[in-house]
Amino acid sequence: MIQPYGPMRVLRERPRDAATIERMTVAAFGPERMQKTVYRLRDGIPQLKDLCFVAVDQKGKLVGAIRNWPITISDKWPAVLLGPLAIAPELRGLGYGKALMWYSMAQSRMLGHSRIILVGDPEYYNQFGFRRDLALNIQLPGWVEDRRFLALELVAGAMIGVHGMIGKPAAKPAVRKKR
């Protein structure tokens, strides 16, 4: 594994990181990204706060970020929707993204998640175990380039029998207190 250029720390995303993450995300994916299927799918659902991380360099500068979102497949199988992964433009290719990916995947596994879905370049994400064949029986509610629609099993066999449309998780019913 390539080590990031210079020491870094991975922290949970903090409220003060939002503007910097937005700038990095715009630089990486452009303003038109909001029209893409995965962005529309994320709209209106809160990110998984325990699975959103930032990379901070030795001077305390935020140099990268990764976010994850809850989804369901056919309203039965919970999954994590990974992305975006954004790195400061001048630091791309130096290992910060890889470090964030490995850390995020390990945390997802430790928190009991069994599958991760993403839309991204297979040339990059295959090295982490994401595969196109694992996503053949699932669909997004909109267009996506097939070769970029990938899945990862955090638990062996987690995608066996999983099929259908990806959607937003159902809202949890409000808990009523007895009087």
In this predicted structure, which of 81-85, 134-138, 154-158, 171-175 has the lowest mean pLDDT?
171-175
Q: Is the pLDDT of residue 173 over 80?
A: no
Q: Please report, for the chain, the start and end positions of each structural domain, with discontinuous segments joined by +.
A: 8-167
pLDDT band at 2 (very low <50, low <70, confident <90, very high): very low
Question: What mean pLDDT do residues 76-92 have?
Answer: 94
pTM, full prediction: 0.89
Q: Which own/partner pairs from 94-99 qualify as long-range (CB within 8 Å, at least 24 positions apart)?
A: 94/2, 94/4, 94/5, 95/1, 95/2, 95/3, 95/4, 95/5, 96/4, 96/5, 96/8, 96/55, 96/63, 96/64, 97/64, 97/124, 98/1, 98/2, 98/4, 98/127, 99/4, 99/8, 99/10, 99/55
Q: Is the pLDDT of residue 35 over 90?
A: no
In this predicted structure, which of 93-97, 110-114, 135-139, 143-147 has the lowest mean pLDDT?
93-97
Q: What is the pLDDT of residues 36-71, one digit of tens each?
A: 888 888 989 999 999 999 999 989 999 999 999 999
Assign domain 8-167 to its CATH architecture. 3-Layer(aba) Sandwich (3.40)
Question: What mean pLDDT do residues 120-146 have?
Answer: 97
Q: What is the pLDDT of residues 91-114, one digit of tens each?
A: 888 899 999 999 999 999 999 999
